[in-house]
Amino acid sequence: MLLEIIDLYDDRDSDYRIGLKFTSDPEIIEFESDYLSSPFTQNFNQTLKWYFRDYLTDTPWKTGDKDVVGKLIALGQEMGDKLLGEDHELMKVISILEANGIGNLSVQIKSNRLEFFREQWEALILPESPYILSTACRAFERHYTATEERPDTEKRYELNKDNPLHIIHLVPHHDQKNNTESVHSTLTADYVTELQEYDGAVHYRPIPVTNWQEVFQQLRESPVHIVHYGGAITLDADKQPCFICGTEAMSIKDFAKEIKNSDAPILVVEPGFVDGTTNITTETILASIATEALTEGFSGVVGLSQPTDPWTTKSCFTGIYHELCKGLSFSQAMVEARKNLQRQTESDLFYPSPAPFHCWSLLRHYSRGDQLFFFSEPQQRTNLQETQRYTSIRQRMFGFAAELLPPEGHRTSDGILTTVLEKSREPQPIIITGEEGCGKTHLLHHLAYFITDNAVLHHAFFFDIQEHNYSESDILGMIANVVSKTVAADQTDNHDQTEPANTHSTWDKLTKTRTLFVFDNLTDWKGNDDEFARLSDFLNRLVDHGQIVLLSGQQAPSTILNPMVFQIPELTMPEVKQIARQRLTVFKVTDAEKNADYENLLDVLKGNPLLIHNLAPALTNHNSLELLNSLTEHFQQHAHVSPVTAAWQWQWSQLDELSQRWLEALSDTPGILLEMLSMVCDGNERPETASELFRVFGHEDSKLSDCIHAMEVYGFVIPHSHGRMINPRALDFVKEQQQQDELFNAHGEHIKILFSELTCMALSQLVMHTGKNPNPAISQYLLANRGIWARHLEHLWLSEKYRPFLETLNQLSVLLQQNQLTPELAAWSSEVLSRTPLPTVVLTDETARMVAWLRLASAALSAHEAKDNQRLQDTAKIWHQWLDQHPMNIQEGQQPDPLAYNALGFLEEYYQVVQDWSSLHQIALRAEQEYSAFKMWPVLTRIWFVLSDCALRQDDHEQAVSYEQKILHDLSQDQLPPNYQTQLNMRVLSRRTERADIELAQELLNHMKNAEDGDRLAAVLDMMQADIFFQDGQYQAAARCYQTLVSKGELNNAEQQQYIHMKLEKCKEQLGESEFQFIVDDIEQQSQQATVH
């Protein structure tokens, strides 16, 4: 069904009439209606302009919304009444629509006059209808009749992830000289990340509008389906709209001709604040742009009828893009987007308390009648962090804070982001400058994310000079492993893959990659000038070798050669309000903005994002006037320091003493999750270590959770994805307070020991918890911060806190072993041992100390240099002598001696590492006696395997078999875990097969096939049978067994499949091609016959 609303204006006739034509095959209804004047008065249109531009940002609870939507609905109904026709023909149309469904109706507003398109047609409501027509029909389009219409044209692009929808967003250029944007704030970064949720199906690319030639060149480099223009608009001498690029204006006609070469069918135009057009409505300008663009070949033009804030603008346009990704035609997507906006009846963009707001009437769609389908089927939308694209980006980024990256790191607007992104293509370093807290770190993270996404980058590395004065060797050492792995993956030269990392080799490998280096807070360098000059020289050389270098600081250092410098622009008041709203919402502070002093409070915060972020939550404990007066007085008294420093001082003064003490203790461990400590301190039974720490702080009965809340309210604690941590920006200030605190000066070491013990206790509990309740995100956090845990663990060791040391070491060992990081633990253990005096005698009255030493020595045995480690040799000698001097003396009811147990375990591992089989045999015999007496079956089976190995190395086959027989027959089955005996049997079977002990292997295999679980293990046992045939030289039988397993497809394990393939290749070598192929064909034939049967 089609309803055409046609402009019948004739300047020779004073009566203005509108024609309506309704087509519902085969019926056609045509009639005319008088439309002498629009129901939408000039005053109402001015109110509408205020509503979309100023209402939300200017205390909406004071002004109210002036019932704009109610009036819009009433006027839409009046418009419908004007279209009834002399004989109420429209009512017949409405009856047909009710019978066939309004969702099947297409509406076309048709005219060749701009004046006709000034009308609010999208508000039209048909008589007696409950629906706004533009939100309920199938399509609602404005047609410029001076162009050739193509109503029957349908084009399907069949786009998908391999052939995505390309949207080019031409964004305002940021003027570096004046530090202003040429039009208005934009949110292209948010557009990009939101549309990345389609994981490649949409490619959204922002291009700063700086030079028309460059813009059109980039448009010609890749497919373009939608051109989204967000730049400046002005009027030429003939009052025709033009797009602005830099200082050059281009007519819509010329622009459309250039775009036509890229074959983009859709033009999207943001209204923004239009330059030199204050006397002409945005609706008229959009209509003028649309008529020109359609005349030059565009299929459709989309825009908004009024200027509005960039967040509402984005909501309107992304709504269209999301509907396109559902496989709808462009016309359908427009209606559905409008319908979705209609459901949004409130907005809390700028204040925590939502205000009534409706923006569905903004969208306009001008069309030539083409039916465009970009996707033939709906595209899947997932959480950004779950997409392959996001994963690929994050896997190449190192050292960046996840909470500052998209999507968590929300930006209020682009600012200079898109301009800097474009400039990052040039071979010059980029420096971002601005006062403390203005958003440099935040911007660097977003720039790094988008550069890593857009450029062909191997890696991106982040370094914060505020945390450490990095040297060239520091940097190259930190990135060595990552760069080496990348280069090795790209090369086949074995030498390059195995060459040890050093400064020179890392630099050479780095030059073979494309890498982004980000250095934050460069002007906070705390070293000497010569060291900074050397770092600057390194950065200059990185640029010379084609790497991208992003820097930040309050000023641009003179030692960086030929930089491009960009200053962070000041926030607009809507941006200030939005940051404050976000923080107040987090803390559930409502109605604070309705206080008369709220706006003045925001002014006092100087538009500084860090100040707003840290101080707005203080409204939890203060009203606006109290906070305003307190901050104003404080800033005046501390005008000699930076506003950020002054703010930290005020925030500190608001904390109670206990919260201050906890912050001072936490400042040495900034990466710890505070919930870890709270879990230990505030549990049902507070451990003595925690109680002692609270006593030292002078508040034994308090709760840590209360302190954490206070710290968060006053900006010292910030939320992360896994919990809360101390705000890294507060660290320097808090450490200064710690140095001035008499309590820490007098008892600092005692506090640090208690804190390390508490941290390790919390770590042990969390590792155990994740072991029982797997949480990959928490496990990754624990691994990423293993350096922190190692520091506290070493503190316990050096402080002789051996029991908590052992408990934590055991838990940490499990975590590292599960993640293939045992060598790292071994290297750390070896290094700690090397700095610890060796006990020359075994002190039986210091069991905890001795056991801790043995446990640490055992961990060190996995280190590369363990075989030649003198400290380990001396340890083995001391403990072997002690065991010789202390024979077993086991009495009934006695528990195993922990010293003997740990000594035997260490010596067993040590002698295997150094391959001292004689000593190993001696120790294993002692261990067998010890473990047999205490019926320690799992460790006893390990010792029997060791003794069997020792016998084989001494060519004593009979003795080796005897120990294997013990494993098979002498264990107490009722004291073993389920299936444990089966695992042991498989291990013995594998050993016998590997050493070609065919008769014993076959005997054991037959026994296992006849056992209760033989059917369950059939596939694995068949593979073992094949291995026995192979070891026995029965290659025909082996090949048949292996090929049968392949045909049955019973082995899904990739390693097993690869193993069988390797064995089949060896069988083919032994049998020859023809005989081997005969076996394969025979097995396949049998398999097919069995399937048919």
Task: Give 850-864 as a DSSP string.
Answer: HHHHHHHHHHHTTST
Largest CA distance in the chain: 124
Quick one: 305 and 444 in the same domain? no
Token code pair at residue 396: 């190449």
d(CA 705, CA 312): 39
Q: How confident is the model at residue 491 (pLDDT cuts 50, 70, 90)?
A: low
Quick one: 112 and 191 in the same domain? no
Residue 835: inside a domain: yes
User: How, if at all, do strands 371-375 and 154-159 pair?
Assistant: parallel
pLDDT exceeds cutoff 80 at 704: yes
What phi-psi label fits residue 351: left (phi over 0), alpha (psi between -120 and 50 degrees) or beta?
beta
Q: Are 67 and 322 in contact (CB under 8 A)?
A: no
Q: Are 329 and 311 in contact (CB under 8 A)?
A: no
Most confident option among 336-350, 520-534, 890-904: 336-350
User: 283: domain CATH number?
Assistant: 3.40.50
For residue 389, CA distances in Å to 201, 203, 497, 650 come to 11, 11, 28, 43
Q: How many domains does the chain have?
A: 6
d(CA 109, CA 341): 21
What digits encode the pLDDT tens for the residues 93-137?
Answer: 999 999 999 999 999 999 999 999 999 999 999 999 999 999 999
What is the C-alpha radius of gyration for the chain, rounded to an integer number of angstroms?
38
Q: Are 1062 and 1039 in contact (CB under 8 A)?
A: no
Q: What is the pLDDT of residue 238?
A: 85
Q: How confident is the model at residue 178 (pLDDT cuts 50, 70, 90)?
A: very low
Q: What is the pLDDT of residue 593?
A: 81
Return the residue matching tokens 């002190």. 843
Nearest-10 Cα torsion for 42, 45, 47, 49: -130
pLDDT exceeds cutoff 70 at 179: no
Token code pair at residue 261: 């070469």
What digits encode the pLDDT tens for the residues 368-377?
Answer: 988 999 999 9
Quick one: 202 and 282 in the same domain? yes
Residue 638: inside a domain: no
Quick one: 389 and 491 in the same domain? yes
pLDDT exceeds cutoff 50 at 492: no
Mean pLDDT computed over 649-663: 97
Q: Is 1084 helix (H, G, I), strand (E, B) or coil?
A: helix
d(CA 392, CA 194): 17
Ranges of H-type helices in 114-159 = 133-136
**Higher per-residue pLDDT: 280 or 951:** 951
Nearest-10 Cα torsion for 396, 401, 406, 410: -160
Q: What is the pLDDT of residue 1077?
A: 93
Quick one: 107 and 195 in the same domain? no
Q: How far apart are the first and last CA of the chain?
A: 59
Quick one: 765 and 911 in the same domain? no
Torsion angles phi and psi, residue 1061, rounded to 5:
-60, -40
Q: How confident is the model at residue 789 (pLDDT cuts 50, 70, 90)?
A: very high
Residue 1063: inside a domain: yes
The region of weakest confidence among 172-181, 193-202, 738-747 is 172-181
780-788: list long-range contacts, CB under 8 Å, 24+ apart. Answer: 781/673, 781/722, 782/815, 783/815, 783/816, 783/819, 783/821, 785/671, 785/672, 786/812, 786/816, 786/821, 786/824, 788/669, 788/671, 788/672
pLDDT exceeds cutoff 90 at 548: yes
Mean pLDDT computed over 914-925: 94
Quick one: 844 and 806 in the same domain? no
Secondary structure, 3-state, 881-938: HHHHHCCCCCCCCCCCCHHHHHHHHHHHHHHHHHCCHHHHHHHHHHHHHHHHHCCCHH
> What amino acid is encoded at 612 in this protein?
I
Q: What is the pLDDT of residue 1086?
A: 86
Residue 1092: inside a domain: yes
d(CA 362, CA 316): 8
For residue 487, CA distances in Å to 483, 502, 573, 643, 857 come to 6, 14, 48, 46, 36
Quick one: 423 and 506 in the same domain? yes
Task: Give 760-792 as a DSSP string.
Answer: HHHHHHHHHHHHHS--HHHHHHHHHTHHHHHHH
For residue 380, CA distances in Å to 224, 329, 375, 453 come to 21, 17, 12, 20
d(CA 318, CA 339): 13
Q: Residue 245: enclosing H or E segment and its boundaries?
A: strand 241-245
Q: Which residues contact 495 (CB under 8 A, 6 or more apart)?
A: none
Among 861, 885, 918, the domain-final residue is 918
d(CA 515, CA 508): 13
What digits encode the pLDDT tens for the residues 609-652?
Answer: 999 999 999 999 999 999 999 999 999 999 999 999 999 999 99
Mean pLDDT computed over 177-195: 67
Residue 427: inside a domain: yes
Quick one: 534 and 410 in the same domain? yes
pLDDT exceeds cutoff 90 at 262: no
Residue 508: inside a domain: yes
Residue among 627, 636, 631 nearest 595 (CA): 627
Q: What is the pLDDT of residue 493?
A: 44
Q: What is the pLDDT of residue 276?
A: 53
Q: Is 420 helix (H, G, I), strand (E, B) or coil?
A: helix
Quick one: 839 and 888 in the same domain? yes
Q: Is 382 helix (H, G, I), strand (E, B) or coil?
A: coil
d(CA 344, CA 198): 23
| Strand runs labelled E in 291-450 | 300-304, 346-347, 355-356, 363-367, 371-375, 397-398, 430-433
How many CA atoms are closer than 13 Å to the CA of 130, on its beta-carbon side? 1
d(CA 285, CA 657): 62
Among 888, 918, 948, the domain-final residue is 918
Q: What share of the chain is helix, strand, coil (3-state, %, to 5)?
A: 55, 10, 30
Residue 644: inside a domain: no
For residue 949, CA distances in Å to 794, 916, 938, 956 come to 37, 12, 17, 10
Q: Residue 746: enclosing H or E segment and its boundaries?
A: helix 742-772
pLDDT exceeds cutoff 70 at 1047: yes
Mean pLDDT computed over 275-283: 71
Residue among 767, 853, 859 nearest 815 (CA): 767
Q: What is the pLDDT of residue 495?
A: 42
Ranges of H-type helices in 617-741 = 624-637, 643-653, 657-666, 674-681, 688-697, 704-713, 731-740
Among 519, 550, 567, the domain-final residue is 567
d(CA 57, CA 308): 10
Q: Residue 111: enclosing H or E segment and its boundaries?
A: strand 106-111
Bond before 407 cis per omega within 30 degrees: yes
Task: Give 996-1012 as a DSSP string.
Answer: T-HHHHHHHHHHHHTST
Most confident option among 140-144, 189-193, 600-604: 140-144
Residue 211: inside a domain: yes
Full residue range of the structural domain in which residue 768 is found: 655-810
d(CA 198, CA 58): 36
Angle formed by the axes of helices 674-681 and 688-697, to 10°?
100
Q: What is the pLDDT of residue 177?
A: 45
What mean pLDDT, rounded, does the chain reach? 89
Quick one: 674 and 772 in the same domain? yes
d(CA 259, CA 212): 11
d(CA 519, CA 517): 7
Q: Is 230 helix (H, G, I), strand (E, B) or coil?
A: coil
What digits encode the pLDDT tens for the residues 993-1018?
Answer: 999 999 999 999 999 999 888 888 88
Quick one: 420 and 304 in the same domain? no
How many CA atoms are closer than 13 Å to the CA of 618, on its beta-carbon side? 29
pLDDT exceeds cutoff 50 at 497: no
pLDDT exceeds cutoff 60 at 274: no
